[in-house]
Structure 1
Amino acid sequence: MKSLTKKLISIISLVILSISLNANDLKKDKLMKISVESNGNITVYELNNSQASKELLAQLPLDIKVENYSHDEKIFYPPNKLSTSNTPLAKNAVTGTLAYYAPWGDVVMFYKDFGSASGLYELGKVVSGKEYINSMSGTIEIKLID
Structure 2
Amino acid sequence: MRKETTVNRPIGRAARSDQARIARFDRRSAFKAFACSLLLACGMSAGEVHAAGGVAASDQGAGHRVNIRIVAGSTTMAATMDDNPTARDFVTQLPVTLTLRDLDSAEKVSGALPRRLTEAGAPARDAGSQGEIAYYAPWGNIAFYRGQGPDAAGVITIGRITSGIEAVNQQGQLTVTISRAD
- Normalising by structure 1, we get a TM-score of 0.73
Partner of 2:130: 95
Q: Which has the higher strand share?
A: 1
1:75 paired to 2:115: no
TM-score, with length taken from structure 2: 0.60
Q: Which runs of 5+ in 2 are unaligned?
A: 1-60
AA aligned opposite 2:90? L
Report what 2:81 is aligned to.
Answer: 47
Moved more, 97-106 or 135-144: 135-144
Q: 2: CA distance between counterparts of 1:123 and 1:89?
A: 14
Structure 1 runs not aligned, ≥5 long: 1-26
How far is the alpha carbon of 1:104 from its aligned partner?
A: 0.7
Cα distance in 2 between the residues matched to 1:41 and 1:137: 14
Shift of 1:64: 2.2
1:115, distance to aligned residue in structure 2 (A) = 4.1
Corresponding pairs, count: 121
Name the CA distance, whole Å, in 1 between partners of 2:103 and 2:150. Answer: 15
Find out whether 1:143 has 2:179 as its counterpart.
yes
What CA distance in whole angstroms lies between the structure 1 residues aligned with 2:62 and 2:137? Answer: 28
- Give the aligned residue type for 2:176: I
State the distance in 2 between where 1:111 and 1:137 align.
Answer: 14
Distance 1:128 1:106 in 2: 22
Give, in angstroms, the shift of residue 85 of structure 1.
0.5
Letter in 1 for 2:126: K
Confirm or deny: 8 A CA contact 1:89 1:122 kept in the other structure.
Answer: no
Bigger shift: 117-126 or 134-143? 134-143
Identity percentage over the alignment? 22
> Does 2:36 match 1:36?
no
Deviation (angstroms), 1:50: 1.1
Where relative contact order (Cα < 8 A, 6+ residues apart) is larger, the structure is: 1
Secondary structure of residue in 1 paired with 2:159 = strand
Partner of 1:121: 156
